[in-house]
A = this chain, B = another copy of it.
């Protein structure tokens, strides 16, 4: 089958160390469900990490094919779903309302004001929100990995 080397989190330097545990998380989850950590899945995970932000499934296909791998859309979508189950990837809506995917771990929290009258999106930085978030999660015995806070607002004159 003439495969290229399998990317491995411990052997690549193109991926920040913060993502290192991801491979393990994914592996563990697959094993727990009687599924396999295949070369194809390792490559998709690697591509997802390199995306570094919201991406479309098609981009993963292009990325991997450009790297010389033969991959089908079906495998991409199936692997994305597995990653969602493993809590590694989430689906999000871009500002253009197009559904995309993005990594959860290490993802920058998305705190924005969406001006519904002008469609302007304002990024905000709210340290108190992190505190609040962590407090809430602690109450439920959960560990937050990321969050999203969107305020929908208009100008006072509208």
Contacts and interface: CB of A to CB of B under 8 A. Distances in A.
A36 to B, nearest CB: 20
A143 to B, nearest CB: 5
Given A91-B97, A132-B126, A140 B158 contact: no
A147 interface: yes
A136 B113 contact: yes
Contacts of A57: none
A148 B126 CA distance: 15
B136 A155 contact: no
Interface of A: 84-87, 90-93, 97, 99, 104, 107, 113-117, 119, 122, 124, 126, 128-129, 132-133, 136-137, 140-156, 158
